[in-house]
Amino acid sequence: MIRTLNFAFIAITGLVCLGLYRIAEEARVTNAELREARAAILQEKDTLAVLGAEWASMTQPGRIQVLVQHHLDLFDKAAPQLTSLTQLPSKTPPLAPENAFTNVNAVVAPAPFAPNTAPPPPASSPTSPASTPAQLKTGT
């Protein structure tokens, strides 16, 4: 029985060693990948710093002004100085004169408020001349 127990312990020890070796190898590979990723990040940061410096030199206002003067036919115009509100341009004239609608004689009957109902039936008495809403609106 001791031989069997010794054999079992040796087998278990061997399996534990193999598992530990596998875990250590995975940790070594992951550590190498981590170092590569950190190096790539540092390289990208350096590249971004160089690109930022190039962008700053390309967008300097003095450089852009020289390029504009050389390649475009643009020039500065003096803007008129406004000293009071009376020198502002006038508003657009109204479409119709203000007194054009003073003598209008229109009668508009309020429409009945019934959002989910059918329109009311026409009146059955022929003696009332303006009994439907359509007649009230048109004045007939």
Residues 131 and 125: beta-carbon distance below 8 Å: yes
Which residues, at least 6 apart from 74, have a Cβ–Cβ distance to it below 8 Å? Answer: 68
Which residues, at least 6 apart from 80, have a Cβ–Cβ distance to it below 8 Å? Answer: 87
Q: What is the DSSP letter of 110?
A: P
Structure tokens at 35: 């170092």
Digitized pLDDT (tens) for each residue of the chain, 140 residues in all: 888 999 999 999 999 999 999 999 999 999 999 999 999 999 999 999 999 999 999 999 999 988 888 888 776 666 666 567 777 777 776 666 666 665 556 666 676 665 555 555 665 555 555 455 555 555 55
